[in-house]
Amino acid sequence: MPEPVVSPEPLPTPFASELGSLADPGRHHAPLEIAGEDPRGLLDALRRMVLIRLCEQAIATLVGSGEVKCPCHLGVGQEAIAVGVVKHLTARDHVFSAHRSHAHFLALVDDPALLLHEVFGKATGSSRGMGGSQHLIAADKGFTGSNPIVGGVVPVAVGAALGNKMDRQGNVAVVFFGDGASEEGGLHECLNLAANFVLPLLFVCENNFYASQMDICLRQPSDRISRFAEAHHVPVRVVDGNDLVAVSHAAGELIAEARRSGRPGFLEATTYRWLGHVGHREDIDVGIKRKLDDLVQWKQRDPIARLRQALQTTGHLTPGAFAAMQQEIQARIDQEVAAARSAPYPDPAVLLDYVYCQGGS
Protein backbone atom coordinates (compact mmCIF):
# COMPACT_ATOMS: atom_id res chain seq x y z
CA MET A 1 0.00 0.00 0.00
CA PRO A 2 1.43 3.45 -0.87
CA GLU A 3 2.53 5.65 2.04
CA PRO A 4 0.09 8.48 2.78
CA VAL A 5 1.41 11.84 1.69
CA VAL A 6 1.52 14.81 4.04
CA SER A 7 -1.44 17.10 3.38
CA PRO A 8 -0.57 20.34 1.59
CA GLU A 9 -0.91 23.70 3.31
CA PRO A 10 -4.28 25.33 2.51
CA LEU A 11 -4.17 27.56 -0.53
CA PRO A 12 -4.84 31.25 0.08
CA THR A 13 -8.54 31.81 -0.69
CA PRO A 14 -10.94 34.66 0.02
CA PHE A 15 -12.25 32.59 2.91
CA ALA A 16 -14.33 34.02 5.72
CA SER A 17 -15.65 31.99 8.65
CA GLU A 18 -19.25 33.08 9.15
CA LEU A 19 -19.89 30.45 11.79
CA GLY A 20 -17.77 32.06 14.49
CA SER A 21 -17.47 29.99 17.66
CA LEU A 22 -19.45 27.12 16.11
CA ALA A 23 -16.49 26.49 13.81
CA ASP A 24 -13.89 26.98 16.54
CA PRO A 25 -12.66 23.64 17.93
CA GLY A 26 -11.46 25.41 21.07
CA ARG A 27 -15.00 26.43 22.09
CA HIS A 28 -18.14 24.70 23.43
CA HIS A 29 -16.38 22.13 25.59
CA ALA A 30 -18.51 22.62 28.71
CA PRO A 31 -21.25 20.21 29.85
CA LEU A 32 -24.60 20.97 28.22
CA GLU A 33 -27.11 23.34 29.75
CA ILE A 34 -30.04 21.05 30.59
CA ALA A 35 -32.08 23.05 33.11
CA GLY A 36 -35.77 22.70 32.28
CA GLU A 37 -35.23 19.69 30.00
CA ASP A 38 -36.99 16.35 30.52
CA PRO A 39 -34.31 14.10 32.09
CA ARG A 40 -35.94 10.89 30.82
CA GLY A 41 -35.78 12.17 27.25
CA LEU A 42 -32.13 13.13 27.73
CA LEU A 43 -31.26 9.72 29.19
CA ASP A 44 -32.90 8.04 26.23
CA ALA A 45 -30.96 10.31 23.86
CA LEU A 46 -27.72 9.50 25.70
CA ARG A 47 -28.41 5.77 25.41
CA ARG A 48 -29.03 6.10 21.66
CA MET A 49 -25.83 8.10 21.19
CA VAL A 50 -23.85 5.49 23.12
CA LEU A 51 -25.42 2.75 20.99
CA ILE A 52 -24.32 4.58 17.84
CA ARG A 53 -20.81 5.27 19.19
CA LEU A 54 -20.17 1.70 20.38
CA CYS A 55 -21.65 0.19 17.24
CA GLU A 56 -19.45 2.34 15.00
CA GLN A 57 -16.39 1.60 17.12
CA ALA A 58 -17.15 -2.11 16.76
CA ILE A 59 -17.45 -1.66 12.99
CA ALA A 60 -14.14 0.26 12.97
CA THR A 61 -12.43 -2.67 14.66
CA LEU A 62 -13.97 -5.10 12.17
CA VAL A 63 -12.87 -2.93 9.25
CA GLY A 64 -9.37 -2.78 10.71
CA SER A 65 -9.17 -6.54 11.06
CA GLY A 66 -10.46 -7.00 7.51
CA GLU A 67 -13.56 -8.91 8.58
CA VAL A 68 -15.88 -6.18 7.31
CA LYS A 69 -14.95 -5.48 3.71
CA CYS A 70 -17.46 -2.90 2.46
CA PRO A 71 -16.37 0.76 2.57
CA CYS A 72 -17.55 2.23 5.89
CA HIS A 73 -17.81 6.00 6.41
CA LEU A 74 -17.97 6.28 10.18
CA GLY A 75 -19.50 9.25 11.95
CA VAL A 76 -17.93 8.85 15.39
CA GLY A 77 -18.22 12.26 17.09
CA GLN A 78 -21.32 13.32 15.11
CA GLU A 79 -23.97 11.32 17.03
CA ALA A 80 -25.98 14.19 18.53
CA ILE A 81 -27.34 15.40 15.19
CA ALA A 82 -28.98 12.11 14.28
CA VAL A 83 -30.47 11.59 17.74
CA GLY A 84 -31.57 15.22 18.20
CA VAL A 85 -33.44 15.24 14.88
CA VAL A 86 -34.88 11.74 14.87
CA LYS A 87 -36.52 12.08 18.29
CA HIS A 88 -39.15 14.30 16.63
CA LEU A 89 -40.07 11.75 13.96
CA THR A 90 -42.40 8.78 13.69
CA ALA A 91 -42.30 5.71 11.46
CA ARG A 92 -44.75 7.48 9.12
CA ASP A 93 -42.17 10.14 8.26
CA HIS A 94 -39.49 9.56 5.62
CA VAL A 95 -35.80 9.80 6.46
CA PHE A 96 -33.05 9.80 3.84
CA SER A 97 -29.31 9.86 4.23
CA ALA A 98 -26.04 9.53 2.35
CA HIS A 99 -22.79 7.57 2.69
CA ARG A 100 -22.28 8.43 6.40
CA SER A 101 -25.63 7.16 7.59
CA HIS A 102 -25.13 4.64 10.40
CA ALA A 103 -26.12 7.16 13.07
CA HIS A 104 -29.33 8.15 11.30
CA PHE A 105 -30.26 4.51 10.78
CA LEU A 106 -29.52 3.49 14.37
CA ALA A 107 -31.19 6.55 15.89
CA LEU A 108 -34.43 5.49 14.19
CA VAL A 109 -34.16 1.71 14.36
CA ASP A 110 -32.59 1.61 17.86
CA ASP A 111 -31.19 -1.88 17.29
CA PRO A 112 -27.70 -2.76 16.02
CA ALA A 113 -28.67 -6.08 14.43
CA LEU A 114 -29.78 -5.00 10.94
CA LEU A 115 -26.77 -2.68 10.51
CA LEU A 116 -24.16 -5.14 11.77
CA HIS A 117 -25.50 -8.00 9.65
CA GLU A 118 -25.57 -5.69 6.62
CA VAL A 119 -21.94 -4.57 6.91
CA PHE A 120 -20.99 -8.24 7.07
CA GLY A 121 -22.91 -8.68 3.78
CA LYS A 122 -25.28 -11.22 5.29
CA ALA A 123 -28.80 -12.07 4.11
CA THR A 124 -30.08 -11.07 7.56
CA GLY A 125 -28.93 -7.45 7.08
CA SER A 126 -31.16 -4.45 6.41
CA SER A 127 -30.65 -4.74 2.64
CA ARG A 128 -30.46 -8.54 2.67
CA GLY A 129 -26.68 -8.26 2.50
CA MET A 130 -26.71 -6.62 -0.93
CA GLY A 131 -26.25 -2.99 0.09
CA GLY A 132 -23.47 -2.81 2.65
CA SER A 133 -22.80 0.22 4.81
CA GLN A 134 -23.86 2.77 2.20
CA HIS A 135 -27.25 1.38 1.17
CA LEU A 136 -29.31 0.95 4.31
CA ILE A 137 -33.06 0.77 4.56
CA ALA A 138 -35.68 0.18 7.26
CA ALA A 139 -38.83 1.52 5.63
CA ASP A 140 -41.09 0.17 8.39
CA LYS A 141 -39.25 2.42 10.87
CA GLY A 142 -39.27 5.46 8.53
CA PHE A 143 -35.70 5.06 7.27
CA THR A 144 -36.47 5.18 3.57
CA GLY A 145 -32.92 4.79 2.48
CA SER A 146 -29.32 5.89 2.23
CA ASN A 147 -27.37 6.37 -0.98
CA PRO A 148 -23.71 7.34 -1.40
CA ILE A 149 -24.05 9.59 -4.45
CA VAL A 150 -23.22 12.93 -2.84
CA GLY A 151 -26.40 15.04 -2.99
CA GLY A 152 -28.14 12.25 -4.89
CA VAL A 153 -30.70 11.39 -2.27
CA VAL A 154 -31.93 14.96 -1.82
CA PRO A 155 -34.21 14.96 -4.90
CA VAL A 156 -35.71 11.68 -3.70
CA ALA A 157 -36.52 13.35 -0.38
CA VAL A 158 -38.22 16.19 -2.29
CA GLY A 159 -40.40 13.58 -3.97
CA ALA A 160 -41.26 11.99 -0.63
CA ALA A 161 -42.13 15.42 0.80
CA LEU A 162 -44.41 16.08 -2.19
CA GLY A 163 -46.08 12.73 -1.54
CA ASN A 164 -46.54 13.66 2.12
CA LYS A 165 -48.07 16.98 1.12
CA MET A 166 -50.52 15.24 -1.21
CA ASP A 167 -51.42 12.69 1.50
CA ARG A 168 -52.31 15.50 3.97
CA GLN A 169 -51.45 13.39 7.01
CA GLY A 170 -48.93 15.81 8.48
CA ASN A 171 -45.96 13.56 7.75
CA VAL A 172 -42.61 15.08 6.87
CA ALA A 173 -39.46 14.08 5.03
CA VAL A 174 -35.98 14.64 6.45
CA VAL A 175 -32.77 14.44 4.48
CA PHE A 176 -29.31 14.31 6.07
CA PHE A 177 -26.28 15.34 4.02
CA GLY A 178 -22.80 16.81 4.47
CA ASP A 179 -21.37 20.20 3.59
CA GLY A 180 -19.94 18.64 0.42
CA ALA A 181 -23.46 18.11 -0.94
CA SER A 182 -23.84 21.88 -1.23
CA GLU A 183 -21.30 21.68 -4.05
CA GLU A 184 -23.75 19.60 -6.09
CA GLY A 185 -26.25 21.47 -8.25
CA GLY A 186 -29.10 19.15 -7.27
CA LEU A 187 -29.22 20.49 -3.71
CA HIS A 188 -29.86 24.01 -4.97
CA GLU A 189 -32.63 22.86 -7.29
CA CYS A 190 -34.17 20.96 -4.38
CA LEU A 191 -34.11 24.02 -2.12
CA ASN A 192 -35.86 25.97 -4.84
CA LEU A 193 -38.46 23.25 -5.42
CA ALA A 194 -39.14 22.74 -1.72
CA ALA A 195 -39.62 26.48 -1.21
CA ASN A 196 -41.70 27.01 -4.34
CA PHE A 197 -43.92 23.96 -3.91
CA VAL A 198 -44.11 24.55 -0.12
CA LEU A 199 -43.00 21.04 0.84
CA PRO A 200 -42.74 19.57 4.37
CA LEU A 201 -39.06 18.75 4.09
CA LEU A 202 -36.29 19.30 6.63
CA PHE A 203 -32.83 19.64 5.13
CA VAL A 204 -30.20 18.68 7.72
CA CYS A 205 -26.66 19.69 6.83
CA GLU A 206 -24.03 18.03 9.01
CA ASN A 207 -21.29 20.56 8.48
CA ASN A 208 -18.10 18.77 9.57
CA PHE A 209 -15.95 21.16 7.50
CA TYR A 210 -14.51 18.41 5.31
CA ALA A 211 -15.48 16.66 2.09
CA SER A 212 -13.17 13.65 1.85
CA GLN A 213 -9.76 15.17 2.67
CA MET A 214 -10.61 18.74 1.62
CA ASP A 215 -11.13 21.49 4.16
CA ILE A 216 -14.09 23.74 3.41
CA CYS A 217 -11.75 26.74 3.18
CA LEU A 218 -10.32 25.17 0.01
CA ARG A 219 -13.75 24.62 -1.51
CA GLN A 220 -16.00 27.57 -0.75
CA PRO A 221 -15.66 31.26 0.09
CA SER A 222 -17.59 30.79 3.37
CA ASP A 223 -18.12 27.96 5.84
CA ARG A 224 -21.84 28.67 6.44
CA ILE A 225 -23.80 26.29 4.22
CA SER A 226 -27.20 27.62 5.29
CA ARG A 227 -26.60 30.76 3.21
CA PHE A 228 -27.79 28.71 0.23
CA ALA A 229 -31.11 27.96 1.96
CA GLU A 230 -31.58 31.63 2.80
CA ALA A 231 -31.13 32.44 -0.89
CA HIS A 232 -34.20 30.28 -1.53
CA HIS A 233 -36.18 31.76 1.39
CA VAL A 234 -36.08 28.51 3.33
CA PRO A 235 -36.11 29.19 7.11
CA VAL A 236 -32.75 28.37 8.66
CA ARG A 237 -31.41 27.37 12.09
CA VAL A 238 -27.66 27.06 12.76
CA VAL A 239 -26.56 25.15 15.86
CA ASP A 240 -23.66 23.41 17.56
CA GLY A 241 -24.23 19.90 16.23
CA ASN A 242 -22.42 18.43 19.25
CA ASP A 243 -25.05 19.88 21.59
CA LEU A 244 -27.94 17.42 21.75
CA VAL A 245 -30.22 19.96 23.39
CA ALA A 246 -29.55 22.69 20.82
CA VAL A 247 -30.03 20.26 17.92
CA SER A 248 -33.22 18.88 19.41
CA HIS A 249 -34.80 22.29 20.01
CA ALA A 250 -33.96 23.60 16.54
CA ALA A 251 -35.03 20.40 14.78
CA GLY A 252 -38.20 20.20 16.88
CA GLU A 253 -39.24 23.71 15.89
CA LEU A 254 -38.54 23.20 12.19
CA ILE A 255 -40.27 19.81 12.09
CA ALA A 256 -43.30 21.12 13.99
CA GLU A 257 -43.53 24.00 11.52
CA ALA A 258 -43.26 21.59 8.57
CA ARG A 259 -46.09 19.48 9.99
CA ARG A 260 -48.24 22.54 10.72
CA SER A 261 -47.76 24.66 7.61
CA GLY A 262 -46.06 22.27 5.20
CA ARG A 263 -43.10 24.62 4.89
CA PRO A 264 -39.52 23.37 4.47
CA GLY A 265 -36.70 24.16 6.89
CA PHE A 266 -32.93 23.95 6.89
CA LEU A 267 -30.88 22.91 9.92
CA GLU A 268 -27.14 23.45 9.77
CA ALA A 269 -25.34 21.62 12.57
CA THR A 270 -21.60 22.01 12.99
CA THR A 271 -19.61 18.95 14.00
CA TYR A 272 -16.44 17.01 13.29
CA ARG A 273 -15.68 13.42 12.37
CA TRP A 274 -13.11 11.74 14.56
CA LEU A 275 -12.02 9.20 11.95
CA GLY A 276 -10.78 9.54 8.41
CA HIS A 277 -13.28 10.00 5.58
CA VAL A 278 -13.60 6.25 5.05
CA GLY A 279 -12.27 3.41 7.17
CA HIS A 280 -11.19 3.01 10.74
CA ARG A 281 -8.13 5.22 11.18
CA GLU A 282 -7.83 8.69 12.64
CA ASP A 283 -4.60 9.56 10.91
CA ILE A 284 -5.37 8.71 7.29
CA ASP A 285 -7.82 10.52 5.04
CA VAL A 286 -8.10 9.28 1.45
CA GLY A 287 -4.39 8.72 1.06
CA ILE A 288 -3.55 11.95 2.87
CA LYS A 289 -1.90 12.10 6.28
CA ARG A 290 -4.39 13.93 8.50
CA LYS A 291 -3.32 16.78 10.71
CA LEU A 292 -4.62 15.81 14.13
CA ASP A 293 -4.29 19.14 15.98
CA ASP A 294 -7.93 20.14 15.52
CA LEU A 295 -9.16 16.65 16.33
CA VAL A 296 -7.65 16.79 19.81
CA GLN A 297 -9.75 19.88 20.51
CA TRP A 298 -12.88 18.62 18.78
CA LYS A 299 -12.77 15.58 21.05
CA GLN A 300 -13.22 18.01 23.92
CA ARG A 301 -16.52 18.91 22.26
CA ASP A 302 -17.62 15.26 22.49
CA PRO A 303 -21.44 15.27 22.31
CA ILE A 304 -21.73 12.19 24.54
CA ALA A 305 -19.37 13.38 27.28
CA ARG A 306 -21.03 16.81 27.41
CA LEU A 307 -24.51 15.33 27.90
CA ARG A 308 -23.28 12.66 30.33
CA GLN A 309 -21.49 15.26 32.48
CA ALA A 310 -24.59 17.44 32.55
CA LEU A 311 -26.78 14.52 33.64
CA GLN A 312 -24.27 13.51 36.31
CA THR A 313 -23.87 17.05 37.65
CA THR A 314 -27.64 17.41 38.02
CA GLY A 315 -27.98 14.02 39.74
CA HIS A 316 -29.92 12.27 36.96
CA LEU A 317 -27.13 9.78 36.24
CA THR A 318 -24.37 8.16 38.28
CA PRO A 319 -21.02 6.99 36.89
CA GLY A 320 -22.08 3.44 37.79
CA ALA A 321 -25.35 3.71 35.90
CA PHE A 322 -23.51 5.06 32.86
CA ALA A 323 -20.99 2.20 32.98
CA ALA A 324 -23.87 -0.30 33.25
CA MET A 325 -25.56 1.33 30.24
CA GLN A 326 -22.38 0.98 28.22
CA GLN A 327 -21.88 -2.65 29.26
CA GLU A 328 -25.42 -3.61 28.36
CA ILE A 329 -25.16 -2.01 24.93
CA GLN A 330 -21.72 -3.50 24.29
CA ALA A 331 -23.03 -6.98 25.18
CA ARG A 332 -25.87 -6.56 22.66
CA ILE A 333 -23.39 -5.47 19.98
CA ASP A 334 -21.02 -8.37 20.72
CA GLN A 335 -23.95 -10.76 20.52
CA GLU A 336 -24.99 -9.40 17.11
CA VAL A 337 -21.43 -9.43 15.76
CA ALA A 338 -21.24 -13.12 16.68
CA ALA A 339 -24.66 -13.76 15.11
CA ALA A 340 -23.66 -11.87 11.94
CA ARG A 341 -20.48 -13.93 11.59
CA SER A 342 -22.44 -17.15 11.41
CA ALA A 343 -25.42 -15.80 9.41
CA PRO A 344 -25.76 -16.89 5.75
CA TYR A 345 -24.69 -14.85 2.74
CA PRO A 346 -27.48 -14.06 0.24
CA ASP A 347 -28.24 -16.82 -2.23
CA PRO A 348 -26.77 -15.77 -5.62
CA ALA A 349 -30.06 -16.89 -7.18
CA VAL A 350 -31.83 -13.85 -5.65
CA LEU A 351 -29.24 -11.35 -6.90
CA LEU A 352 -31.62 -9.50 -9.25
CA ASP A 353 -34.81 -10.06 -7.25
CA TYR A 354 -34.78 -6.61 -5.64
CA VAL A 355 -33.25 -4.64 -8.50
CA TYR A 356 -36.29 -4.47 -10.77
CA CYS A 357 -39.93 -4.11 -9.82
CA GLN A 358 -41.50 -7.49 -10.40
CA GLY A 359 -45.06 -7.02 -9.22
CA GLY A 360 -48.18 -6.23 -11.27
CA SER A 361 -48.81 -6.39 -14.97
Ligand X SMILES: Cc1ncc(C[n+]2csc(CCOP(=O)(O)OP(=O)(O)O)c2C)c(N)n1
Contact pattern for ligand X over residues 57 through 76, marking x by CB under 6 A = ----------------x---
Coil, helix or strand at residue 201: strand
Q: Which of 74, 154, 181, 255 binds ligand X (CB under 6 A)?
A: 181
**Smallest distance from the beta carbon of 340 to ligand X, in angstroms?**
25
Chain mean position to CA 48: 13
Q: Please give the Cα distance from 336 to 86 (Å, whole number).
A: 23
| Nearest 10 degrees: Cα torsion 55, 58, 64, 69 | -60
Angstrom distances, CA of residue 323 to CA of 1, 57, 243, 320: 39, 17, 21, 5
Residue closer to ligand X (CB basis): 152 or 159: 152
Q: Enumerate residues 221-280 that contact ligand X by CB under 6 A.
A: 277
Sign for the CA dihedral angle at 173, 239, 81, 154 comes to positive
Residue closer to ligand X (CB basis): 188 or 316: 188
Residue closer to ligand X (CB basis): 88 or 100: 100
**Of 136, 225, 140, which Cα lies nearest the Cα of 177?**
225
Count CB atoms within 10 A of the CB of residue 305: 15
**Smallest distance from the beta carbon of 179 to ligand X, in angstroms?**
4
Residues 6+ apart with CB under 8 A from 296: none
**Smallest distance from the beta carbon of 278 to ligand X, in angstroms?**
8
Contact pattern for ligand X over residues 138 through 167, marking x by CB under 6 A = ----------xxx-----------------
| Span from 23-31, 173-181, 251-259, 326-334 in contact with ligand X (CB under 6 A) | 173-181
Q: Enumerate residues 276-295 that contact ligand X by CB under 6 A.
A: 277
Residue closer to ligand X (CB basis): 178 or 262: 178
Binding site for ligand X (CB under 6 A): 73, 99-100, 148-150, 177-181, 208, 210-212, 277
